[in-house]
Amino acid sequence: MSLAGLSFWREGPTKSAILDFVGRVTTEGPDYVEPEARIAVFDNDGTLWVEKPALVQLDFLVRRLTEQVAADSALTTRQPYAAAASGDLGWFEDVVNKHYNGDDSGLEMLADGIYSAYEGLTVEQHAERVKQFFTDATHPTLGRAYTSCGYAPMVELLRYLEANGFINYVASGGGRDFMRPVTDQMYGIPPERVIGSSVGLDFTDGKLLTTSRPEFVNDGPAKAVRIWGRTGRRPIFAAGNSNGDIEMLQFTDATQGPSMGMLVLHDDETREFSYTAGAERALDLAAAAGWAVASMRDEWATVFAGGPERSDRGSPE
């Protein structure tokens, strides 16, 4: 077992649980797990990087919707274009929060905009747009490049698991092809180990072109289905932060042998944000399921690596 520690984690129940779990599965004995079966899966938004005051991908999407409105003002008569044109990010957040609580009344309108936003681009052209976005854009309140908005304790956890023979995957409701250009840089996770939502692709004259057809929405039960489809194994470690991660955690719980589930609790309004919207059911289930709940406020020695952590003191509900 690697002796690498978790210096960005304060002494507490979650750090102890991680160290104990990793120690057991990497030491010869009844809980030992062969390295090839040490699969760890991580949600992205709110688990590995920030998701407030709005999802990072939402910033990318709104910029594109605004471009489309500029080219066709008639689009402002319907959502999500009207919200993008007026800068009403609350509309988007409301749709997402309702979805996590079982109300998909606005999801179809949002999905139509998402699916059609980059229709007709080659996969390479789309990747270049994503890279340019991450080169230019900064977080609206943290004042940091989005690529510096990964949570230092979680990135350290990825490295710790990796050093102990784990294979890490991202399993996110976010767009697969939005995350892939930056996950290696930010997390050391290569693009082939990124599982996310996606649109259909068409093959034409040697090119793969994006379409407006939905392929997968990688959220809720779909996370478990797609993790199995990509890995052929049940994970033994899973980390999330919202109701959309419940089934991923339950799938991990059902592993034959030792397993660990963890939720990130956003309760630090000084260094990050304080909110539970969209995570209520997951937090209610945590105690009975035995999932660790990692308090940002109490258990993380730092939130972001290097530089100031917040430039304001707002706290989204």
Phi then psi for 200, rounded to 5 degrees? -70, 155
Low-confidence ranges of the chain (pLDDT < 50): 1-3, 311-317
Within a domain: 245 = yes
Let me know whether 112 and 215 are in one domain.
no
How many whole angstroms separate alpha carbon 68 and alpha carbon 47? Answer: 31
**Closest to 304 (Cα-Cα) out of 296, 293, 313, 294:** 296
Quote the pLDDT of residue 4.
Answer: 56
Domain of 116 in residue numbering reads as: 56-136
Within a domain: 91 = yes
Quote the pLDDT of residue 19.
Answer: 98
Quote the pLDDT of residue 129.
Answer: 95
Let me know whether 206 and 277 are in one domain.
yes
Return the structure tokens found at 130. 């994503």
Quote the pLDDT of residue 313.
Answer: 36
Quote the pLDDT of residue 3.
Answer: 46
Helices (H), 118-245: 123-136, 152-163, 176-187, 221-231
> How many CB atoms neighbour CB 22 within 10 A?
24
Q: Please give the model's pTM, rounded to 2 decimal places.
A: 0.90
Let me know whether 166 and 270 are in one domain.
yes
Let me know whether 45 and 63 are in one domain.
no
Q: What single DSSP character describes residue 76?
A: G
Let me know whether 132 and 153 are in one domain.
no
Q: 41 pairs with which residues across the strands?
A: 169, 238
Quote the pLDDT of residue 220.
Answer: 96
Let me know whether 93 and 132 are in one domain.
yes
Out of 113, 136, 159, a domain closes at: 136
Within a domain: 314 = no
Phi then psi for 257, rounded to 5 degrees? 120, -170
Structural domains in the chain (count): 2
